[in-house]
């Protein structure tokens, strides 16, 4: 009986701490000029939506961050970017997947004209709010077969803050571009300190569970 409880506890903890699989960020904007468009990262590290073949692939981490490659997505002046380009830029850990759709702060997104014909910049639901040239879009989280991936909400897991896979990401205030330091998100690069915290938390939970049985 005790063994089954312990196995169940360990299994649940592992699920809570897992990241999502990699997925393609697929634009969903039916009956608009972006109906067949793709999201992609350009050279300036901003996210654009246009009728191009390039796509963006990402992964949600257990702390609620969105990683594109080895870089964490941030937001500045309501626009999404992989690089700090303003003093308002910050990294956000409020991403989730609901019913197969990527959400930020629980909401969808705005596609805002970039100034170049047919090309839009990805912003939060608050970007250019009230403008009549903004296109509301949703973003599907699709696996390699085109199916949407499972829902993911780090805030629903009480153990999601036990293990952090983010390294240092800071501003260089002496740089005009304020380029953010890239951080590896590979779980194989976890430091020993994080492992100690993880197993310490699991151990405390196991002891408490055994005492209750």
Q: What is the mean pLDDT of residues 151-168?
A: 49
**38 three-state secondary structure:** strand
What's the confidence (pLDDT) of residue 10? 46
Convert the pLDDT of each residue in 71-85 to its tens digit: 999 999 999 999 998
Alpha-carbon distance 192 to 78, whole Å? 36
What's the confidence (pLDDT) of residue 1? 52
Tally the domains of the chain. Answer: 1
**26 three-state secondary structure:** strand
C-alpha distances in Å from residue 43, one per residue of 81, 82, 83, 106, 187: 11, 10, 11, 28, 27
Q: Inform me whether the pLDDT recorded for 181 exceeds 50.
A: no
What's the confidence (pLDDT) of residue 156? 53
User: By residue range, what is the domain housing residue 187?
Assistant: 2-212
What's the confidence (pLDDT) of residue 18? 84
The residue among 147 and 193 whose pLDDT is bigger is 147
The residue among 23 and 189 whose pLDDT is bigger is 23
Burial profile 67-85: b = 16 or more Cβ within 10 angstroms, e = fewer:
bbeebbbbbbeebbbbbbb
Residue 116's closest CA among 50, 28, 59, 40?
50
Residue 154's pLDDT band (cuts 50, 70, 90): confident
Q: What's this model's pTM, rounded to 2 decimal places?
A: 0.69
Q: Inform me whether the pLDDT recorded for 184 exceeds 60.
A: no
**161 three-state secondary structure:** coil
């Amino acid at each position: 009986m005790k063994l089954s409880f312990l196995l169940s506890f360990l299994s649940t903890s592992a699920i809570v701490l897992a990241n999502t699989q990699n997925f393609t960020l697929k634009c969903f904007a039916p009956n608009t000029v972006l109906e067949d468009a793709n999201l992609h990262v350009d050279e300036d590290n901003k996210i654009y939506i246009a009728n191009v073949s390039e796509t963006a692939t990402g992964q949600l981490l257990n702390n609620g961050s969105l990683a594109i490659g080895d870089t964490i997505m941030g937001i500045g002046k309501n626009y999404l970017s992989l690089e700090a380009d303003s003093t308002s830029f910050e990294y956000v850990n409020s991403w989730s997947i609901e019913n197969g759709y990527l959400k930020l702060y629980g909401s969808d997104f705005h596609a805002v004209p970039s100034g170049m014909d047919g090309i839009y910049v990805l912003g939060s639901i608050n970007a250019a709010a009230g403008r009549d040239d903004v296109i509301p879009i949703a973003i599907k989280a699709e696996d390699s077969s085109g199916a949407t991936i499972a829902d993911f909400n780090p805030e629903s897991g009480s153990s999601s803050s036990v293990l952090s896979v983010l390294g240092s990401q800071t501003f260089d205030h002496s740089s005009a571009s304020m380029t953010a330091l890239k951080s590896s998100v590979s779980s194989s690069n976890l430091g020993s300190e994080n492992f100690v915290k993880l197993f310490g938390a699991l151990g405390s939970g196991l002891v408490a569970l055994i005492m209750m049985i």
